[in-house]
Amino acid sequence: MSAPGESGREALNRVWAQPRGWRYFSEVNNTAVGLWYLAAGLGFFAVAGVLALLMRLQLAWPWMGFLGPEAYNQVFTMHGTIMMVVFAVPIMEAVAVYVLPQMLGVRDLPFPRLSSYGFWCYLLGGLLLLSSFLFGPVPNGGWFMYTPLSGPEYTPGLNTDFWLLGLTFIEISAVAACIELIVGIMKTRAPGMSLDRMPILGWAFLTVAVMILFAFPPLLLGDVLLEAERVLDWPFFDAGRGGDPLLWQHLFWFFGHPEVYIIFLPGAAMVSTILPTFCGRPLVGHQWVVVATIATGILSFGLWVHHMFAAGIPLLSLSLFSAASMAVAIPSGIQVFAWLATLWGARPRWDTPFLFVIGFLVIFVIGGLTGVMVASVPFDWQVTDTHFVVAHFHYVLIGGAIFPLFGALTYWFPLPSGRLMDETVGKWSFWLMFVGFNVTFFPLHVLGLLGMPRRVYTYPGGLGWEWLNLTATIGAFVLGAGVAVFFANLAWSWKRGRPAGHDPWKAGTLEWAGPTPLTDSGGASVPRVRSLHPLWDQPAEMAAAARGEALMCRPTTHGRETLRVSAVSAEPQQVIQVSGPGWSQVAAAAATAVMFGAGTFHLWGVAAAGGVVTLALLTRWAWHSDRQPPMARVDIGQGIVVPTYAADHSSHAWWAAVVAVLFDGAAYLALLSAYVFLWLVNPVWPPPPWEGRIALGDILAGGGMLAVAAVLAHAGAGLHRRGRHWALPAGLGGAVAVAVAVAWTGLSTLTAADLGPTRHAFPATVWVMALYTLVHLGVATLLALLVLARQAAGLVTPVRRMTVMMTVLAWDFAAFTGLASMAMLVLWPATGGGGGICTW
């Protein structure tokens, strides 16, 4: 709402103004957070690049003594980990956080504080991982951290723990980004931007966010199990006590392979964005590129075992995953043909972003072809663990991600800076990178075919490997010089580049609708979209929107706000009030870092204190959520009136809760899969000491109580919605009481059954399943207490009840997964003819 005499634009500038000075870092808006993400990501990329140069120096000539074997192990582990986990995935999230709101035509994504929390966790996690260089125990087990090498027996120091620490933070930031992107893309777009009018970049990030939703939970579970094995001696991966090292490989690669596509799909979408602009025509086969993007995303989940072809798995498994690995070439091929068709007959402008796109096409196609080669099991057996594989995945990842990313950074540089990067220097950086890259990595194909293994710190002379290695090292420094020139251009052009003006590339998508640099509010008004390329097809309407003559041209609820629309057709549904600057997300991230950092050093008291502070800060955060502005409905312009609050299944908050539960559910499915896997590899499951140790009646009673708790929560929420205020404390209070009883009886039963978790993988897995349920009952209990406190403070009413809906969802999930775990324990071993843990 504007102050008297204040124009709409002045009011927008006031509510969206970024804090100045050191308070700038309390900002949560995507235009600030996205830039920080990008800067941090590029910083980590530079560190990992220097590590790569150290490796190439060491391998330049036989018997080099520049790095010893231990240092080499540390350097290649950190290079891989930083590049894959700390740089590649987060930098794509960074592009999404920065560019998507502009491209989708909205002022902000729905959960800016969550994005900011994700960023601070990411930054602290990356720095903690790097701090291992200061403290000494640098991770040294490879970026995949295979067991048993990474287990307590072979890596007794903190090396693996630092790796797990870094990954924990990346997982937190990935979950935050996944929720923000799925809900943001589905629920906050410009009116009229139905899914068929959504740019490819939106589709790619939607696909990628869904992939994160299902790919990261198995890694999260693997991390928990590995840390439990290292700290508590629970033998999930110890073959001598019923575990299996291959379990780690399955969990890791179920994340690790889709991760390649999590990195590649946004890169491909950047190409699909830049190419049409420079060709001056729409992307040929837009819908087929959408199809290919979705198909690639889902197919990528059926490929994980191709990283384990040499691990000794059954023949049919090899064949199944080989077939799936080849099949993924089809959707990738569709995209390549769409790009070639767009290029066909066009007269493109050969500016730097376009050069990077062409570089991508050349390099990625070569990487794709060698990908089909290594998808063939006999060929893979020959080249596995050789430099051929190193060459292949660098062609795919640098070609598929770095070249498009650098092209995209050049392309979108005017948005934050208002300037263009220097074209001559840009072309120099491209050619140095392109030539340097190929001189580095093409010889590695030959080295691999000659038999040079990867992950060796040196090699003897006389094998014909010398000049190829020397060539690769020279190429690496040329590539490094290209990257350095690019960074210098970035820094120089930020202040001194040529002013970009309006839409410098003559693009068709919405991020170029306003002036450059972007204003804090993201635009004077929100346009109505009627085309896939609104700037090409609706120039007059876009110009009017840039003048502030479309929707939401002034704040209507006293604060920062964005528009929620229907998921498919993008019709306006609600004005959402979003968070403004504050420090709670920074403090919560710092407390989270203290909790996990101290835990890594086994400082349990400090870790517990960090945990309590984290919980307190998150509770405070939750307390101030579910806001209901005083005005029930507002006019957003052109006669459109929408509500300012909604607590139903179309709400963005509900969608976020569902996405979070799906993530949690995927982790739970991974846990059940781990249980089944261990059952398969053990000849007897459960082992004789634990057969018939628990009475069936005890399990049935526990299951019954869980169901009662969920029913009580539902009943309380349902009656409260009908105006019976007393029902909420009665229902949720009853559920909490039952949960306490379940926890008590469950722990008593497991203790009485003598399920010592260090003795065998079976009791360890049973304990993890039980603790999973207990933790979720604990979360549901905390949410119930929060809701009751909010009700007492007048913040929960039969209308304002989103937190109630979320709490009931938490009870449902805790009860469902608890019941599923009990059913698994009772029924699964019995189907295999074993005795089972229960006495019937």
Distance CA 575, CA 567 (A): 15
- Quick check: 302 binds other proteins (CB under 8 A)? yes
Helix ranges (H only) for 244-314 are 245-279, 286-299
Closest CB 307 distance from other proteins, rounded Å: 15
Q: Which stretch binds other proteins (CB under 8 A): 137-145, 450-458, 566-574, 809-817?
A: 566-574
- Quick check: 316 binds other proteins (CB under 8 A)? yes
Closest CB 186 distance from other proteins, rounded Å: 9
The three-class DSSP label of residue 419 is strand
Q: Which stretch binds other proteins (CB under 8 A): 167-175, 293-301, 459-467, 512-520?
A: 293-301
Q: Could you say which residues in the range 86-115 bind other proteins, by CB under 8 A?
A: none
To which H or E segment does residue 643 belong? strand 641-643
Strands 419-420 and 641-643: unpaired
Among 127, 298, 603, 609, which residue interacts with other proteins (rule: CB under 8 A)?
298
Judged by beta carbon, residue 247 or residue 299, the one nearer other proteins is: 299
Q: Which stretch binds other proteins (CB under 8 A): 266-274, 318-326, 442-450, 613-621?
A: 318-326
Cis-peptide, bond into residue 90, ω within 30° of zero: no
- Quick check: 287 binds other proteins (CB under 8 A)? yes
- Quick check: 820 binds other proteins (CB under 8 A)? no
Q: Which stretch binds other proteins (CB under 8 A): 84-92, 290-298, 417-425, 482-490?
A: 290-298
Q: Which stretch binds other proteins (CB under 8 A): 323-331, 510-518, 541-549, 709-717?
A: 323-331
Cis-peptide, bond into residue 517, ω within 30° of zero: yes
CB 29 within 8 A of CB 75: no
Residue 645 burial (CB count, 10 A):
20
Closest CB 651 distance from other proteins, rounded Å: 14
Judged by beta carbon, residue 240 or residue 833, the one nearer other proteins is: 833
The residue type of 429 is: S
Judged by beta carbon, residue 206 or residue 545, the one nearer other proteins is: 206
The secondary structure of residue 551, as a DSSP letter, is B
Q: Give the Å distances, CA to CA, from 705 to 465, 700, 816, 826, 827.
A: 67, 9, 12, 17, 19
Q: Pick from 97, 81, 79, 84: which is nearest to 39 by CA?
A: 97
- Quick check: 323 binds other proteins (CB under 8 A)? yes
Bin 692: left if φ > 0, else alpha if -120 < ψ < 50, else beta: left
Judged by beta carbon, residue 10 or residue 196, the one nearer other proteins is: 196
CA contacts within 13 A on the Cβ side of 490: 20
For residue 183, give both structure tokens.
């809900």
Distance CA 149, CA 125 (A): 23
For residue 618, give both structure tokens.
């998150």
Q: Give the Å distances, CA to CA, from 387 to 43, 261, 442, 445, 451.
A: 27, 22, 10, 6, 8
Among 146, 288, 767, 828, which residue interacts with other proteins (rule: CB under 8 A)?
288
Judged by beta carbon, residue 640 or residue 711, the one nearer other proteins is: 640
- Quick check: 787 binds other proteins (CB under 8 A)? no
- Quick check: 294 binds other proteins (CB under 8 A)? yes
Q: Which stretch binds other proteins (CB under 8 A): 260-268, 310-318, 639-647, 766-774?
A: 310-318
User: What does the per-residue mask of binding to other proteins show for 194-223, with x meaning CB under 8 A?
Assistant: xxx---------------------------
- Quick check: 540 binds other proteins (CB under 8 A)? no
Among 4, 314, 605, 794, which residue interacts with other proteins (rule: CB under 8 A)?
314
Judged by beta carbon, residue 46 or residue 681, the one nearer other proteins is: 681
Among 319, 751, 758, 839, which residue interacts with other proteins (rule: CB under 8 A)?
319
- Quick check: 329 binds other proteins (CB under 8 A)? no
How many positions of this chain bind other proteins (CB under 8 A)?
32
Residues 6+ apart with CB under 8 A from 165: 125, 128, 129, 596, 597, 600
The secondary structure of residue 634, as a DSSP letter, is E
Q: Which stretch binds other proteins (CB under 8 A): 113-121, 496-504, 561-569, 591-599?
A: 561-569
For residue 82, give both structure tokens.
């930083």
- Quick check: 301 binds other proteins (CB under 8 A)? yes
User: What does the per-residue mask of binding to other proteins show for 674-703, with x meaning CB under 8 A?
Assistant: ------x-----------------------
User: Cα dihedral sign for 134, 135, 140, 142?
Assistant: negative
Closest CB 44 distance from other proteins, rounded Å: 32
Q: Print the SS3 string covering 385-400.
A: CEHHHHHHHHHHHHHH
Closest CB 373 distance from other proteins, rounded Å: 18
Judged by beta carbon, residue 290 or residue 336, the one nearer other proteins is: 290
Closest CB 572 distance from other proteins, rounded Å: 14
- Quick check: 327 binds other proteins (CB under 8 A)? yes
Query: Can you give the length of the chain in residues?
Result: 840
The three-class DSSP label of residue 491 is helix
Among 11, 130, 185, 290, which residue interacts with other proteins (rule: CB under 8 A)?
290
Closest CB 570 distance from other proteins, rounded Å: 11
- Quick check: 310 binds other proteins (CB under 8 A)? no
- Quick check: 569 binds other proteins (CB under 8 A)? yes
The three-class DSSP label of residue 573 is strand
- Quick check: 830 binds other proteins (CB under 8 A)? no
To which H or E segment does residue 565 belong? strand 561-565
Q: Pick from 1, 2, 188, 12: which is nearest to 548 by CA?
A: 12
Q: Which stretch binds other proteins (CB under 8 A): 52-60, 86-94, 289-297, 735-743?
A: 289-297
Judged by beta carbon, residue 250 or residue 554, the one nearer other proteins is: 250
- Quick check: 672 binds other proteins (CB under 8 A)? no
Strands 498-499 and 561-565: unpaired
CB 702 within 8 A of CB 822: yes
Distance CA 19, CA 754 (A): 58
Among 330, 340, 616, 752, which residue interacts with other proteins (rule: CB under 8 A)?
330
Torsion of CA 103, 106, 110, 115, to 10 degrees: 50
Q: Which stretch binds other proteins (CB under 8 A): 216-224, 270-278, 295-303, 502-510?
A: 295-303
- Quick check: 531 binds other proteins (CB under 8 A)? no
Q: Could you say which residues in the range 156-195 bind other proteins, by CB under 8 A?
A: 194-195
Q: Which stretch binds other proteins (CB under 8 A): 59-67, 173-181, 283-291, 380-388?
A: 283-291
CA contacts within 13 A on the Cβ side of 473: 16
Closest CB 615 distance from other proteins, rounded Å: 35
Distance CA 234, CA 151 (A): 11
For residue 721, give both structure tokens.
């919605």
- Quick check: 378 binds other proteins (CB under 8 A)? no
Closest CB 308 distance from other proteins, rounded Å: 13
To which H or E segment does residue 574 belong? strand 572-577
Q: Could you say which residues in the range 405-464 bind other proteins, by CB under 8 A?
A: none
Read out DSSP for 102-143? HHHT-SS-S-HHHHHHHHHHHHHHHHHHHTHHHHS----STT
The residue type of 457 is: Y
27 phi, psi to nearest 5 deg? -65, 150
Q: Which stretch binds other proteins (CB under 8 A): 296-304, 402-410, 503-511, 819-827?
A: 296-304
The whole-angstrom distance between residue 496's C-alpha and the CA centroid of its chain comes to: 35
Q: Could you say which residues in the range 31-70 bind other proteins, by CB under 8 A?
A: none
* Site of interaction with other proteins (CB under 8 A): 194-196, 287-288, 290-291, 294-295, 297-299, 301-302, 314-317, 319-320, 322-324, 326-327, 330-331, 567-569, 680, 832
